[in-house]
């Protein structure tokens, strides 16, 4: 969360990139935004021992319960990978790295009211420092457990960088392009908040 600006783009300023949290993300191809196969597999392993007994009490056999879990995790990974990396400006994840819809289908989904809802819900999650709107793919859960905050409440608190108004909601490859821009010119104008790098602005405000 610390790496994400309120318009969902990722920071590229030198101060941030030299920080320990940023260095921890250097080994991740998608900087923690994608569910690659190892992460999806880990989710299945974590869910089996807790979910199988509950599903058994509901009348599911071990086999049918396991199939339901596998199907749910696979669908979650498909939806997540079709929107989450790209909305943060990372490359679209190819099938050899993780489950994902064909790119043309994913792009079509991104134009639907459902994906617009997901996008706005997740923006609120980042604007409010990851303390609300936890569910990227299933926001209804936030409504049920009381962690949902509507756009009318989080939007006034957003500190949008200069490029927010013109930013494509799913700018796959944006992060790499901004790194190249910063290397060439020393700054990325689209990342500036009130004319300053966010890291510098936060020091002044503190």
pLDDT digits (tens, 9 = 90+) for 40-75: 999 999 998 899 999 999 999 989 999 999 999 999
Predicted TM-score (pTM) of this structure: 0.89
Distances (CA, A) of 162 to 82, 123, 125: 26, 16, 20
Decide if 3 contacts 25 (C-beta within 8 A).
Answer: yes
pLDDT digits 0-9 by tens, 161-203: 999 999 999 999 999 999 999 999 988 999 999 888 876 655 4
Q: Which of 93-97, 148-152, 171-175, 200-204 has the lowest mean pLDDT?
A: 200-204
Mean pLDDT value across residues 26-37 = 95
Looking at residue 204, its pLDDT comes to 46
Looking at residue 195, its pLDDT comes to 86
């Amino acid at each position: 969360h610390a790496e994400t600006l309120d318009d969902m783009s990722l920071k590229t300023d030198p101060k941030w990139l030299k920080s320990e949290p940023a260095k921890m993300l250097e080994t991740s191809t998608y900087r923690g935004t994608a569910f690659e196969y190892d992460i999806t597999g880990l989710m299945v392993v974590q869910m089996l021992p807790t979910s199988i007994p509950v599903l058994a009490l509901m009348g599911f056999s071990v086999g049918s319960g396991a199939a339901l879990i596998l199907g749910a995790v696979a669908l979650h990974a498909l939806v997540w990978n079709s929107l989450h990396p790209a909305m943060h400006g990372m490359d679209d994840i190819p099938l050899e790295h993780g489950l994902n819809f064909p790119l043309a289908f994913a792009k079509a989904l991104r134009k639907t009211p459902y994906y617009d809802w997901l996008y706005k819900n997740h923006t609120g999650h980042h604007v409010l420092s990851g303390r609300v709107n936890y569910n990227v793919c299933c926001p209804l859960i936030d409504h049920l457990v009381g962690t949902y905050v509507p756009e009318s409440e989080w939007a006034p608190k957003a500190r949008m960088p200069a490029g927010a108004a013109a930013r494509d909601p799913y700018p796959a490859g944006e992060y790499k392009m901004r790194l190249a821009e910063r290397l060439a010119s020393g700054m990325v104008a689209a990342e500036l908040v009130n004319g300053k790098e966010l890291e510098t602005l936060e020091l002044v405000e503190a």
